[in-house]
Amino acid sequence: PHTSNMQFGAGLIDFGPDQGSPIPFSHSVHNSALAYVSNMLKTHSTAVTITHFNSPVWEALQLAEVWLDSGRFDHVLLGAVDELGEIMLYIFQRCNLISAESPSASSVHRRIAGEGAVVLLLSRSNDRSKRFASIASLSKSKSRPGDTDLILLDDSGIIPSSASQDGRPYDTSNAASCSHLWGRSPTNSAFSIVSAVLALGDSRCLQGFKTRRGESPARTPQRIVCADAQSPAEPFLLEQ
């Protein structure tokens, strides 16, 4: 929550190092928001916060998969939240990392910043009537990206990463992206997962997807791989 961090820092500058407000201070850590959610849901189980510039969603999915596969939990509530505050937006603009408008073809490192929140309920249940789709790491499915109907290749990082996987091994004709719909933020991968769930079996949801040719996918997918071009994390396969 960088907005709360900046508010607390501003208070120290304005009123002195011993006059910081306890309100923004108590909200300046990510666990505070998680504590509020746990209290509202009246849950007292394990709660973990993951922060990362490029791949927090994938790390959270991998952790949730371990918990579910081990039998430790039957359900995992996974929330992906990112806020674009005024000061952070200023920093990105000063560093020439984002564009106020659509980035030009000659400026590949300038991106449209985004923000948003997604919450997913993950379960070990095998009852197909009670789920939207199944999701598992690609290695467990014994599939390759080229074997699937569609690859949603997201690019969530505002800060360019040296670990970029763009074009390797996803440089195929069935690769598409939705990043142009909501900008770029660390939570983009969660938006792509929700988009994949909606697109499975419903061709109307494919209209917002764009392939590298600028076209929408031609057929309704049954198996979709979600991956992040800015993260070396393992992709996930979604299917009905």
Instruction: pLDDT tens for the chain, 240 residues: list them.
Output: 677 878 888 888 888 888 888 888 887 787 888 888 888 988 888 889 988 776 788 889 989 999 998 999 999 999 998 888 888 888 877 877 766 554 443 344 456 778 889 999 999 866 665 677 888 887 776 666 556 778 887 766 555 554 444 444 455 567 787 777 777 787 888 888 888 888 886 767 777 677 666 666 666 778 888 887 766 677 888 887
The reported pTM is 0.77
What pLDDT does 149 receive?
Answer: 77
Tell me the CA distances in angstroms from 114 to 83, 157, 187, 221, one per residue in order. 8, 10, 9, 27
8 Å CB contact between 149 and 206: no
Phi, then psi, of 116 in degrees rounded to 5: 155, 180
